[in-house]
Structure 1
Amino acid sequence: MTIDTARYEDILRTRSRELYARLHRIDDDLGRQKNPDSADQALEAENDEVLEELGEAGENELKAIDAALARIAKGTFGTCTKCGTAINPERLAAVPHTPFCQDCAAGK
C-alpha cells in the first residue's frame, strides 16, 4: 500500500504553520506588561505557567513534525523508525507525525 506523502506533507506543513502562530501568540502573552495588583499577579502567574506548558508541547510537536517531514524527504515516511514495519494508515491519519507503529508506540 502506498502512502500519499504529498497529502501528508501538506497536512504537516499546515499544522506547523498553526503551531508557529500559536507559539507567537504565547510569546506575546508571556511578554506583556504584568498587572501591578498582587491578586491579579498571582492569577497571571498561574496563567503564564499554563502558557509555558502549552508552548513546550507545541515546540515538541514541531520537532516531531520536522522529523516527519525529513522522513518524507528521505522516502521513509510511514515506516516505523523502531521496527521497520509499515505504520497503519489509521494511525497516520490520527497522528501524521508519528515515527512509530502501534506496537512500538505501546512499548511492545
Structure 2
Amino acid sequence: MNTEKYEQILRDRQRELFARLHKINADIATGRNADSEEQATEAENDEVLDELGEVGEKELKAIDAALDRITKGTYGTCAKCGEPISEARLAAVPYAPLCQECATGL
C-alpha cells in the first residue's frame, strides 16, 4: 500500500480543517450587531458554527490517529479484526480505523 499518498491526503485535509476552524473561531469572536433581530440570527449562526467546529475537531482527531498509524506501520489494517482495509474504503474515508465489515458490525 502506498501510505505516502494517504499521508499527503490526510495532511492536506488537516490543513484545510485547521484553516476552517480558525475562520470559525474568528467568526464567533466577532462582536454582535446592536439590532436585536440581527443578534438572534447571529446567535443561531454561532450555534451552527459551534457544531461545525465540533465536527471538525473530531475529524482532526481521527486524522491524527491515522497519521500515527502511518508512523507505526499499521495504517490500512483494521484495528478490530486485523484484516486489510480496502483501498475503496480508504479512498472514501482515509482516516478509517476499521474495515467496512467491522465498521458496519456485520
Query: Is the TM value for this pair above 0.5?
Result: yes
- Output the TM-score relative to the length of structure 1: 0.97
- Pairwise CA distance, 1:36: 1.2
Q: Which residue of 2 aligns with 1:88?
A: 86
- Could you tell me which runs of 5 or more consecutive residues in structure 1 were left unpaired when the two chains were aligned: none
* Match of residue 24, structure 2, among 26, 34, 51: 26
Q: Does 1:12 align with 2:10?
A: yes
Q: Which residue of 1 aligns with 2:72?
A: 74
* Match of residue 101, structure 2, among 96, 100, 103: 103
Deviations 1:7-61 (A, max 9, x none): 1000000000000000000000000001111100110011000000000000000
Q: Which residue of 1 aligns with 2:63?
A: 65
Q: Secondary structure of the residue that 1:34 maps to in structure 2? A: coil
Q: Secondary structure of the residue that 2:74 maps to in structure 1? A: coil
Distance between the aligned counterparts of 2:90 and 2:9, measured in 1?
Answer: 11
- Output the TM-score relative to the length of structure 2: 0.98
Q: Pairwise CA RMSD of aligned residues?
A: 0.5
Give matches, 1:47-62, under 5 Å. 47-62=45-60
- Pairwise CA distance, 1:107: 1.7
Q: How many residues align?
A: 106
